[in-house]
Structure 1
Amino acid sequence: MKKGILSLGLVLLATNSFSQVICSVEAPAGIAGGYQITNPTTWSLDMSIPANAVLDTLMLADDSLACAPLTNDLTGKIALIYRGSCEYGSKALRAQNAGAIAVIIVNNIPGAPVPMGGGVDGPSVTIPVVMVSNVDGDILHDAMEAGDDVVAFIGEKNGYYDNDLGFKIADILRADASAIPSQLATNAAEFTTTLGGWVFNYGQNDQTGITLNAKVNNGADVYDQTSTAFSLLAGDSAFITLPDFSLASYPMGVYTLTYEIAYGVTDQYTLDNTIASTFDIQDSVYALARLDGAGKPMNTIGFMPSPNDGSFTSCIAFTNDNASRIGVLGMHFSASINAPDSLDGREILISARRWDDAFTDLNDPNFGFTSLTEVASAIFNYPPSIPSLNGVDQYVAFDTPIVLEDGQRYLFCVQTFDTEIFLGYDEQSNYDENTNNDLQAFHPIESNGDFFALGFTSGAVPSLAVNVVDAADLAVNENVIETSSFPNPAVDVVTVKVNANGTAALTITDLAGRMVSSSDVTIVNGQFKANVDGFKAGTYIFSLDYSNGTKSQFKVVVSK
């Protein structure tokens, strides 16, 4: 997991920007065109400045990993280097010392290029650095091996091409979350998505007959709308509004929202003519970050604030007029730390907080974070682990689950007081334009007691997910004797804490009322253990009848 130390966003709305850094192969013709990249924003040369652009020939470093000083002369060349074994900043610095004017790092695993942290040597790098995917890297490498001179442009693309329209993920409207509980999206009145986005004319020519199309697909197209035609002068932009997306009912599953720009000439840089985002309607998670195949929040980088000299809290905001339909069990998060340090024993706090500040939107003078009340919490200490748990998703159950309240604002947060810990973020999700449209804070952060409503200035989204259930599943927790259980979800053994000692009869049933197990338990020092190793994955009701005639009842989720 890569790391970054970033500046904090102020309570100001984002503005659209023409700046876009690209990598475009100019020759040979057979592989010419734009290549998807990531480029650092906290180290290396600032490529948003047009004067910092480079156009030159690629050359393979003699040590393809650049984890040792390079011996070949890269003077005036763009070095091609592979990811792996050492820090990105160290690779780039070695290429720079060998004379390279820029560096392209090839991802060594399948998938898109990833964000790059600079590490120890990053601050010393003064040349452009970008990453391409393993597939695109193979294309470049094969052409070089075939004897072709591969020439690439790396830099700010505004004004570089004659005909070039485009947009960025930060400038389009999307669903207000990537994972939406189905309990809160039963019809159009409960869930509607406003659609539209900024279209930019990066090219030198004026353009006419431009249209913006949006499609939503959940296995079949359920929305397909195209704007009326419009024109853009060179260097101009326009926000294009499309009809809202809504359905009479929402089948559970993944919905893909795709925007596409079209006009009457051939665009010379097509990578930014189409943008897609997804949202997943299901019954167990609320999240802003993308979900992986296992339903966990994706993280691409670890962030901490600068300066980082106290508390650091990363939050996602939530409010819904029908929130009382769901209960909250716990949260997913991820964290990382620079080698050779370890996460072993490091403490993370998770919490749900009522956000009772009375305000309408970000422009309201009463907006703030002065009235926060913790309503659920838990403490997690990283266990000793080999391999490292850097960037690995962790699930922590709240000490006591809660049912949410209709219309109440909440913050779901992960907090550390450890100044060496980076918290996980997803840089490929962005809600900047939604913030402009809704005038609400999506993912605020706290740094040393001060809150920043817009989070980090990069727009990256916390890799947090809230585990939800039907509120009715928590309704049985009207205990005569207070109880709690951990871990919850459980796999093989659950420890139950009660405000009692002695003996009790334990009956375990499934949600259909079928008895799964019954036994007598002995409560010592206010707790006992129950074996659920043979249970199927699902939710079970634990009922305790104490020898003094009192009772307790609570739920345990078993995962396999």
Structure 2
Amino acid sequence: MKKILLLFSALALSAGVQAQVVLNIMSPSSLQGGLTHSNNGAVAGWGLADLLDPADAVLDTVVVMDDSTAGINTLVGTDPNTGNAYPGIPLKYEGCNLDTNSAWQTNRLNGKIVLIARGTCEFGLKVYLAEKAGARAVIMFNRDNAGLNAAPGVYGGLATIPFAMVARPDGDNLLNAILNGQTVVAFLGNKIGAFPNDMSISPAEAVYPPALAVPGMLAMDSTDFKMKLGFWGRNDGSANQSSVVASVTVKRGTTTVYSMSTASFPLNSGDSSYISFPPFQLNGYPLGAYEVNYNLTAGTDDFPLDNNIDFATVINDSLYSYARVDPATLDALDNNSYQSSSFTSSWGMCINFQHPNASRSLLKGVRWAAWSNTDTILGRTVDVSVDGWYDSFTDLNDPNCAVTNTSPLALDTYTYTTNAQDQLVSHYFTAPIELDDNQRYIVCINSSDQTLYLNHSGAVAYQLNDQMAGEQPRELVRSDNSWFVRGFSGNVIPTMQLILEQNTSGVGEEVYYDIKPFPNPAQQLVTIDLGGFDARSLEVVDLTGALVLRQDQVNAVDGKAVVDVTALPNGAYVFIAKGADRDVKFNVVVSH
């Protein structure tokens, strides 16, 4: 049964039962909680296709693999906390010993979850051998601090037990606890009904902003950029709940710029509700990360790992991205490599770019990351293409949404001059490309290399957004001459980034003014170089849109005006210089 909780607006959406496959450490108390992981369902080809069937769930004691193999595997990653290499991993923990007479294959693993280290042999063989030795499930840990979708290889199709892949730190924690004599108990599988009190939000059932990195020139006010907000809340527990509360907050730094909560409402076991919040919108967006938190609570929760979803949109100088970025470096946060499985000559990883004020910007270049399943990416080539997209349709759900009418704007070849595996690289066009308002553009990285994979993110994939009226395509995939306007079926988004710059030439009669406040941040007085703009008055609003300061007359000397901000609390503000026929906005930070 589903309910639509229309808190603030009416919205028709659909949602199926969202299975929650989790890896949860039940004991000891020092390790209790859910672990981030991938599992059988992440890659096709495993004997157990996925863990969505609750009957496949496993709750049992975890033991350490020990197949008696001597030696140490020194092929390890780097600890990001220390900058040093992780310690080598004993080969006996890798579970690659094919000797069927070994003691490890005839005892200790019966009815247990076995902890296995990555290395030496393929993932599928490890799981298959563990199953042959009686294991009920496998937890595998990576050699570095990264997630990984494990491929089945030759033997994975023969393995029919659940497995999970975790990062090195989580694996080390489990390993050390077991070696120190603690009893570790884990739950792996679909958690629906497994715990009495268990509210959940799925990343696949949340609404996200139009993009997660947006240049300030395309986020000047709420007509440029606003965040729709909402999510499906579910009661995955076996107990009915009477006092569920849903909430959302948006913070810029330590300042909360948006906060909204529902009144408490009931939600029975197995039920779900869609909670819609008013959009988050500002009169202006100072540069920085706008961190969003969705929360669903009913008081006590036996599995709190999925009560929250956190993400951020980063307003920055020049980069546009649908995928998550690091607020400090703007690098992509996720590196999952994908390739079209059906291409014979070439394929393209593409995004659609469209903005009502795109003409303010020029497309200067593109950033992306790739990975080769050989030892090096050095010398490999890709083609970078930009096309105008002229098919007529209203949104992604329009039957006419297709790629049949395009016009080429750029086609360049990029050659890797370094072994930049999984690293963002940039290509700049010979001349920046002028963009038109509301025009769709398809930007692609194209490859004919069967060993080359292009990087995507699955952390935010816009599945719920895509059901909504007016939503435009984001990811597209080209396989030879066929186009797929919804991208890959795995609900991933390219980590590709567009490099934009200000279009200072203007469009038609439009004139751009380079207004520069200094110092910025300001303590007492801020001097504003108006850049030739004839400001008649000045307004200052905070990030909630409240008017906090007004000057009915601007007294400029040599094109510069001085504003006293002593009375304003520390924080970010939007200054609005009002002229005879237009307003110009700019951002000032006050820090006393």
TM bucket (normalised to shorter chain) is: 0.7 to 0.9
1:65 alignment partner AA: E
CA distance in 2, matches of 1:376, 1:433: 32
Deviation at 1:146, TM superposition (A): 2.7
CA distance in 2, matches of 1:468, 1:444: 20
Partner of 1:210: 244
Q: 1:61 aligns with which of 52, 58, 65?
A: 65
CA distance change for structure 1 residues 50 and 134 in 2, over 3 Å: closer, same or farther? same
Q: Do structure 1's residue 403 and structure 2's residue 403 form an aligned pair? A: no
CA distance change for structure 1 residues 221 and 67 in 2, over 3 Å: closer, same or farther? farther
Contact 2:401 2:485 (C-alpha < 8 Å) held by counterparts: no
2:479 alignment partner AA: S
Partner of 2:498: 466
2:481 alignment partner AA: G
Q: Do structure 1's residue 415 and structure 2's residue 446 form an aligned pair? A: yes
1:52 alignment partner AA: D
Task: Answer with 292-301 or 429-438: which moved more.
Answer: 292-301
Contact 1:337 1:422 (C-alpha < 8 Å) held by counterparts: yes
CA distance in 1, matches of 2:205, 2:366: 29
Runs ≥4 in structure 1, deviation > 4 angstroms? 13-16, 67-71, 84-87
CA distance change for structure 1 residues 83 and 378 in 2, over 3 Å: closer, same or farther? same
Partner of 1:271: 305
| TM-score between the two structures when normalised by the length of structure 1 | 0.77
| TM-score between the two structures when normalised by the length of structure 2 | 0.73
Contact 1:333 1:463 (C-alpha < 8 Å) held by counterparts: yes
Q: 1:161 aligns with which of 195, 200, 222?
A: 195
Partner of 1:36: 36
Contact 1:376 1:401 (C-alpha < 8 Å) held by counterparts: no
Partner of 1:508: none
Q: 1:99 aligns with which of 134, 158, 169?
A: 134
Q: What SS is found at the alignment partner of 1:249?
A: coil
Aligned-pair identity (%): 33
Deviation at 1:131, TM superposition (A): 2.2
Contact 2:198 2:303 (C-alpha < 8 Å) held by counterparts: yes
Contact 2:367 2:497 (C-alpha < 8 Å) held by counterparts: yes
Deviations 1:506-550, CA, capped at 9 Å, x for gaps: xxxxxx9xxxxxxxxxxxxxxxxxxxxxxxxxxxxxxxxxxxxxx
Q: What SS is found at the alignment partner of 2:204?
A: helix
For structure 1, which runs of at least 5 residues remain unmatched after alignment?
1-12, 476-511, 513-560
Q: What SS is found at the alignment partner of 1:472?
A: coil
Deviation at 1:69, TM superposition (A): 4.3
Deviation at 1:402, TM superposition (A): 0.5
Deviation at 1:19, TM superposition (A): 0.7
Q: How many residues align?
A: 458
For structure 2, which runs of at least 5 residues remain unmatched after alignment?
1-12, 67-91, 508-530, 532-592
Deviation at 1:120, TM superposition (A): 4.9
Partner of 2:271: 236
Q: Do structure 1's residue 143 and structure 2's residue 172 form an aligned pair? A: no
Q: What SS is found at the alignment partner of 2:62?
A: strand
Deviations 1:224-262, CA, capped at 9 Å, x for gaps: 111232222211111100111011211101111111112
Partner of 2:27: 27
Deviation at 1:336, TM superposition (A): 1.9
Partner of 1:433: 464
Partner of 1:454: 486
After superposition, the CA RMSD in angstroms is: 2.4
Deviation at 1:79, TM superposition (A): 1.5
Contact 1:18 1:202 (C-alpha < 8 Å) held by counterparts: no
Partner of 1:310: 345
Q: Do structure 1's residue 132 and structure 2's residue 136 form an aligned pair? A: no
Deviations 1:401-453, CA, capped at 9 Å, x for gaps: 20211111111111112233211111222211121224321112112222112
Deviations 1:25-52, CA, capped at 9 Å, x for gaps: 2333443332222224224321112221
Q: Do structure 1's residue 79 and structure 2's residue 132 form an aligned pair? A: no
CA distance change for structure 1 residues 373 and 297 in 2, over 3 Å: closer, same or farther? farther
CA distance in 1, matches of 2:332, 2:378: 22
Q: 2:364 aligns with which of 329, 347, 359?
A: 329
CA distance in 2, matches of 1:325, 1:95: 59
